[in-house]
Structure 1
């Protein structure tokens, strides 16, 4: 989990750094802007996956409170009754 947390921090840092470069590109070539945008997108997707993985493992280990999701049976019954 520590490795995933480190990956999470590095990914989000890359997203913000390269995203800023892509958006504030003044005097950069088009290839540099595209590269910055692609690296920012990679940081975004990697950061999201790592964050969701950390959240899921925290719920499973009992460190974080479980989310309030209703069961499939209760959800289907509520949908049939029209309350959702």
Structure 2
């Protein structure tokens, strides 16, 4: 949401194949970090009650409108993260 004019714009949409959560704006305000599971995510655990796939930290640049992977744990989960300013 643009706080200057109250307009809304969808930037990233979660789907069955792409799940984005926990956005945190960068200190310069030019983008934001977020956790995501996508089609490249490795299956780590699957049973009748749980499906666990690797989750990575990504950065979305608001100027270029491009997403880049910042961190990935190949054999585990990124459940949460913190940005220090």
TM class by shorter chain equals: under 0.3
With the length of structure 1 as denominator, give the TM-score of the two structures. Answer: 0.22
**Which structure shows the bigger proportion of residues in helix conformation?**
1
**Which structure shows the bigger proportion of residues in strand conformation?**
2
Larger Rg: 1
With the length of structure 2 as denominator, give the TM-score of the two structures. Answer: 0.22
